[in-house]
């Protein structure tokens, strides 16, 4: 009986210790994602002047629209933060409300980005129009794909929380998702500044 109890205790300890290991592994993934976005930013910086006598950023970008888009994403990080505080405090109903708000804000951001892409293409500013637009759609689109992935991950985690509660495993996964979501905010601030703000000048 004592041997069984010791084995059970050891298994719980091993499970508990997996949290920091998972977080460390996820930090390594985020660093690799940083390299990806650094390459995309560098490509955009090189190709942005190559408009092939087509439209420039100053002619295409609507800063008020992009500001609203930015507000949605930044606000979603705030709601996610409140959701994590509630999750750590084992308040599942409140955590779920904040996570739903985060999902809706992310969906709003993504819908605005898709609208912008469609609007630009309808204006004749498609990815194949110039090297500048190819770089623009690649950089902004890659960020949008990350947001879409984050929303799928968030929906999956909400389903797990509803089914299993705020277990240690779910909290670890939510913590990794929180890092990912805030990372996307940081990348978007770079996109807004380098692509939209500087491009509109």
CATH of the domain at 70: 1.20.120.80
At 200 the pLDDT is 83
At 26 the pLDDT is 86
**115 occurs within a structural domain:** yes
**116 occurs within a structural domain:** yes
Domain that holds residue 127: 26-199
- Residues 169, 138 contacting (CB under 8 angstroms): no
At 19 the pLDDT is 65
Reported as a pLDDT band with limits 50, 70 and 90, residue 10 is very low
Task: Tell me what the mean pLDDT of segment 27-39 comes to.
Answer: 93
- Residues 192, 136 contacting (CB under 8 angstroms): no
**78 occurs within a structural domain:** yes
At 4 the pLDDT is 45
Choice among 13-17, 21-25, 56-60 with the minimum mean pLDDT: 13-17
At 25 the pLDDT is 84
d(CA 198, CA 187) in angstroms, rounded, equals: 15
How many independent structural domains does the chain possess?
1
At 18 the pLDDT is 62
**8 occurs within a structural domain:** no
Predicted confidence (pLDDT) per residue in 63-89, tens digit:
999 999 999 999 999 999 999 999 999
Check whether 11 has a pLDDT greater than 70.
no
**10 occurs within a structural domain:** no
**88 occurs within a structural domain:** yes
**165 occurs within a structural domain:** yes
Nearest to 187 by CA among 40, 25, 84, 82: 40
Give me 23's structure tokens. 């977080």
Task: Tell me what the mean pLDDT of segment 166-195 comes to.
Answer: 95
Predicted confidence (pLDDT) per residue in 100-125, tens digit:
999 999 999 999 999 999 999 999 99
Predicted confidence (pLDDT) per residue in 87-105, tens digit:
999 999 999 999 999 999 9
**156 occurs within a structural domain:** yes
Q: Considering just the CA atoms, what is the radius of gyration of the chain in Å? A: 21
At 142 the pLDDT is 97
Nearest to 136 by CA among 120, 149, 148, 124: 120
d(CA 68, CA 194) in angstroms, rounded, equals: 17
């Amino acid at each position: 009986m004592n041997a069984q109890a010791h084995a059970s205790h050891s298994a719980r300890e091993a499970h508990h210790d997996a949290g920091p290991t998972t977080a460390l592994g996820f930090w390594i993934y985020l660093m690799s994602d940083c390299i990806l976005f650094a390459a995309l930013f560098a490509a955009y910086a090189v190709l942005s002047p190559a408009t092939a006598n087509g439209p420039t950023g100053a002619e295409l970008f609507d800063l008020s629209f992009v500001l609203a888009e930015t507000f949605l994403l930044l606000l979603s990080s705030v709601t996610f933060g409140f959701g994590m505080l509630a999750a750590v405090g084992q308040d599942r109903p409140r955590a779920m409300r904040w996570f739903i708000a985060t999902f809706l804000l992310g969906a709003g951001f993504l819908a605005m980005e898709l609208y912008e892409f469609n609007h630009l293409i309808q204006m004749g500013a498609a990815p194949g129009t110039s090297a500048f637009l190819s770089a623009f759609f690649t950089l902004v689109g890659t960020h949008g794909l990350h947001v879409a992935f984050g929303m799928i991950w968030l929906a999956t985690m909400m389903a797990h929380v509803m089914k299993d509660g705020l277990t240690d495993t779910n909290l670890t996964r939510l913590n990794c998702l929180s890092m990912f979501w805030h990372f996307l905010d940081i990348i978007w601030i770079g996109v807004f500044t380098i692509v939209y703000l500087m491009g509109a000048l």
